Amino acid sequence: MHPITVIEIFSALALVLMLLGVAYFLPKKKRNTALKMIVLVIVMELAFFAIRPLWINYHLGVKTEQLTEYLEKRYPGEEFSISYRTSRNYNPYHMEVRFESEQDWIYGYSVTNQGIKQVSVGVPDAQLPDEGLHYEGLGD
């Protein structure tokens, strides 16, 4: 499990335990209301952890579609493949593109609401990024 995920889970657990501790010292009538609120917090936390991956996957599909349209318009007739890294260390909306005409080159694109920008270039040995056929100036 990734450290960020562990921190998120422990933070959620700490919040519930803190609320339980406060509820323990409340009068019985208020304690029942507090326990209902704690159950609501638990349900919201579980929903967050369950829905977030689905939300990211949905947006990833939309962003992949946007990048595909952008590349087809910018490089008509070019064949390419789009991939992305799935680890929590990486932004899910930074995608890697390999063009059929440049198999050894990897172009990184960021797809945001502000637009699409080329943000990185993986080059073969002894070559410079601007020698690539699809180099766009890294965000210019």
Domain boundary among 12, 28, 55: 55
Please give the model's pTM, rounded to 2 decimal places. Answer: 0.75
Give a yes or no: residue 139 inside a domain.
no
Domain span including residue 19 = 3-55
Examine the domain organization and report whether 64 and 43 are in the same domain: no
Number of domains in the chain: 2
Write the pLDDT tens digit of every residue in 66-124: 999 999 999 999 999 999 887 777 788 899 999 999 889 999 999 998 999 999 899 88
Instruction: Show the tokens assigned to 20.
Output: 């339980």
Query: What's the CA gap between 56 and 83, in Å, rounded?
Result: 15
**pLDDT tens digit sequence for 9-62:** 999 999 999 999 999 999 988 999 999 999 999 999 999 999 998 998 999 999
Q: What 3-state class would DSSP assign to 23?
A: helix
Most distant CA pair in the chain, distance = 74
pLDDT at 138: 66
- Radius of gyration over alpha carbons of the chain, in Å? 23
**Does residue 140 have a pLDDT over 70?**
no
112 within 8 A of 93, measured Cβ to Cβ:
yes
Q: Please give the helix or strand (H or E) that residue 53 lies within, else none.
A: helix 28-74
Task: Specify if 41 maps to a domain.
Answer: yes
